[in-house]
Structure 1
């Protein structure tokens, strides 16, 4: 084992760790994607093979049949890697950083094989045995790497088995409330909520137009059926027939800290699109029947333990300023005679995105816990329920004004983290103190992580909407694929609790 070979092995360890942590666990979240069962199984087997190789190379000198066995393991790893490449290209679109990382890993592995294979071939001619050896720091690096890939490999194999439980309902059933053959314009149709809504509309045979800045993001949606893509509302002719508009476009509010530039993008992105919708409505020959425009429960400000309905007023904060400006812009549609619904959305739960998707990995590894003291409220809704509520708002002619898009059971952060840990069968003991969050993230942490609103969906329930995931336990059980009597039986729970204004 030469120094150059050890450098290549160390580089392989570091790049592999980066690929696993940043891509597989971070941006791509492969363990929670039903479509990646085969890829996860391949990753699991390959990681366990790496564990054997790191242990053998770091602490032993394999001779005779042991050297032959290690050569066979290297060849098998190469076959698995090529199979993995085919499976990745077949099932998902890899981001540029992952493609670059995989290319570097492949090239570096070729360097390792070019130096390691002749050494092992030479050792294969000796008498069979495992001679203990010690390479100083590199032996310990190999031990740490072996432990890491064993944990990652077992996790990937378990995740591959779990994929059969990560079921999703037929998307077309989510829009059953709509009349047939609706023409719907969706802004933000490639986002976390919009993606599911557009997929459901297309699957149900509706005519869908998506406003997006990136046409490439619409390509996966087209797999569900025909969809029209526009990059500007000016592309829509005045004679176009549009029955309903759903306005979900806007800069993500919870992906990065709220710098001054970020705050401006959050506000401007929402106002520009909403004012553009008003201009479109004004010039259409036939105006749409309804506009469902996005907002958020941040409209109410930071209200502590007070139960809040659509009748309550708000207190000043940045989130409220965003929501008030957004709703005020949408009011222009009202003046044009279009029924307008302001969808005040809470925390939307699903394994494919949003805050919950970022929490699944740390909680699954037993590193989850509450934020601060955990007594602040979290008003949430399952992603399928918010898609159903949007369609309910379109179909219900009498529904207008603010509508709280939250489930009937708001929970404290303590209750939420406890329920998530229980759904994953893990402890939730790694709490994050409030002060470092405030120091690092400022207003972002104060408004989104350490404070909240206790919001009741009064308008939705009074209009007859039935939540399919009314309790946090039922929602999380469905999301993580854990059997739950309430969720598995398809029981929809209704609540008649109405908070006092």
Structure 2
């Protein structure tokens, strides 16, 4: 029977590492972006006898797997076992062993005993390659998450309302918060489930009682800007941001001071700075020009009622989020894989980006760190020019990235959106985060791309 094993050192105690695994969102947090997996049944979390049933695709074939959680049964170590009850393998048993290694440190040892139906050596080689890729991702993410959460270990856990919780960033934030021991209440426009907060910005409706039970609100909701900017689309982009922000700000301001969230984290974007060429932009820099700059200003100003009421308001000006699950990276990677990657226009425009693992931690820092208020650049400390981004992505994917896309073609195909989003940019530095000691897990672009795309070794800072 083939055996696969990998181990990694963790920056927290065995007890804290085990606690992370017992919380909602742990399975999803450790699932690589390229492994499309759907949980279709779950009974409990990882307590003995709890079941997890999932669907996933392997080599284009849809598969189903039912796991039962069992105790590790090793005195002196913490952990658990996942054993296949039904599924595609002849057998599968994974041990998650957490070994204390010192004061405040531990070691995670993953050990899988498995057998493919064919039972061939080819199956083992293919299986080991896939497992190596998967566990490289899992261990890097776990290290990064635990290090970020350790920064707030001495503070009480928070109850956080999150709007846009089903979006790319919102989904990741909810999982990051819950595995860190926080409680999340999703703000939903449809039917509210247990613990959800119903709201409808278009009708100025919000369940105030749900907000009263929260320590913080993180507001991420807003229409996508990745569409052709017709007059109707631009109006929706603006309305979707200002309307929801204003409703939340007015509602929070009107609540009794002793029974309302203490912090309102209302998203913004680096587009606020406009196109500034090579100018280095920090939170001390002024507003730029253009549609996105105007939207950003109106978006931030809509939070004024909460600010005027004495609530701590933070505006994370978010850069391009690098995630293997979607967003800007997906079309860039797809084009690069077929040899169409390369400079857009001059290629000299700056791209201010941030790793998904870091943006969730940045938003959490905005909730936890009372020193943070006002505008806060939510980007990695190393912005790059677009041609260097294309070159790095090509290097990671082992593809050429020299196919130029003329600026005229971008403007013709995408109009104003193409000009502002693709041909212009900002060279933004997260000065406020750096001054407050925020530690980025992925400050380097190549390491971030390798992590998100599962392409070779990468290091966590």
1:483 aligns with 2:456: yes
Partner in structure 1 of residue 239 of structure 2 = 268
CA, structure 1 residues 355+261, in 2 after alignment: closer, same or farther (shift >3 Å)?
same
1:382-439 CA-to-partner distances (Å, cap 9, x unmatched) read: 0110111111122221211111111110100111011111111111122211111101
1:415 aligns with 2:413: no
Q: Return the match for 1:432 from 383, 399, 405.
A: 405
Structure 1 segments unaligned to the other structure (5+ residues): 1-29, 44-83, 91-157, 219-225, 492-501
Q: Return the match for 2:255 from 268, 276, 284.
A: 284
Structure 2 segments unaligned to the other structure (5+ residues): 1-31, 39-53, 68-128
1:328-352 CA-to-partner distances (Å, cap 9, x unmatched) read: 0112211011011111111111101
Partner in structure 2 of residue 250 of structure 1 = 222
1:183 aligns with 2:200: no
CA, structure 1 residues 288+361, in 2 after alignment: closer, same or farther (shift >3 Å)?
same
8 Å CA contact 1:251–1:266 kept in 2: the answer is: yes
Quote how far apart the aligned CAs of 1:165 are.
4.7
Partner in structure 1 of residue 91 of structure 2 = none
Matched position secondary structure for 2:209: coil
Quote how far apart the aligned CAs of 1:234 are.
2.1
Which structure has the larger Rg? 1
Partner in structure 2 of residue 295 of structure 1 = 268
Partner in structure 1 of residue 208 of structure 2 = 236
8 Å CA contact 1:215–1:231 kept in 2: the answer is: no
Q: Return the match for 1:374 from 342, 347, 352.
A: 347
Residues 62-461 of structure 1 aligned to structure 2 (within 5 Å): 84=61, 87=64, 163=134, 165-167=136-138, 169-170=141-142, 173=146, 174-178=148-152, 179-214=155-190, 227-232=195-200, 234-237=206-209, 240-254=212-226, 256-285=227-256, 286-461=259-434
Residues 21-32 of structure 1 aligned to structure 2 (within 5 Å): 32=34
Taking the aligned partners of 1:257 and 1:305, their CA distance within structure 2 comes to 27
RMSD value over aligned CA atoms? 3.0
Partner in structure 2 of residue 472 of structure 1 = 445
Partner in structure 2 of residue 41 of structure 1 = 58
Quote how far apart the aligned CAs of 1:163 are.
4.8
CA, structure 1 residues 184+41, in 2 after alignment: closer, same or farther (shift >3 Å)?
closer
Matched position secondary structure for 1:291: strand
CA, structure 1 residues 359+163, in 2 after alignment: closer, same or farther (shift >3 Å)?
farther
Quote how far apart the aligned CAs of 1:169 are.
2.0
1:290-329 CA-to-partner distances (Å, cap 9, x unmatched) read: 1111111111111011111111112220000100000101
Taking the aligned partners of 1:420 and 1:257, their CA distance within structure 2 comes to 25
1:141-181 CA-to-partner distances (Å, cap 9, x unmatched) read: xxxxxxxxxxxxxxxxx989855554362496354445333
8 Å CA contact 1:406–1:455 kept in 2: the answer is: yes
CA, structure 1 residues 337+31, in 2 after alignment: closer, same or farther (shift >3 Å)?
closer
CA, structure 1 residues 182+373, in 2 after alignment: closer, same or farther (shift >3 Å)?
same
Taking the aligned partners of 1:38 and 1:418, their CA distance within structure 2 comes to 35
Taking the aligned partners of 1:180 and 1:197, their CA distance within structure 2 comes to 18
8 Å CA contact 2:319–2:353 kept in 1: the answer is: yes
Tell me whether 167-176 or 417-426 shows the greater mean CA deviation: 167-176
Instruction: Give the alignment's TM-score, normalised by structure 1.
Output: 0.63
8 Å CA contact 2:35–2:56 kept in 1: the answer is: no
Q: How many pairs are equivalent?
A: 345
8 Å CA contact 1:215–1:229 kept in 2: the answer is: no
CA, structure 1 residues 366+329, in 2 after alignment: closer, same or farther (shift >3 Å)?
same
1:47-102 CA-to-partner distances (Å, cap 9, x unmatched) read: xxxxxxxxxxxxxxxxxxxxxxxxxxxxxxxxxxxxx4554999xxxxxxxxxxxx
Partner in structure 2 of residue 12 of structure 1 = none
Quote how far apart the aligned CAs of 1:41 are.
3.5
8 Å CA contact 1:305–1:454 kept in 2: the answer is: yes
Quote how far apart the aligned CAs of 1:230 are.
2.4
Identify the structure with the greater strand proportion: 2
8 Å CA contact 2:160–2:182 kept in 1: the answer is: yes
CA, structure 1 residues 239+415, in 2 after alignment: closer, same or farther (shift >3 Å)?
closer
Quote how far apart the aligned CAs of 1:236 are.
3.1
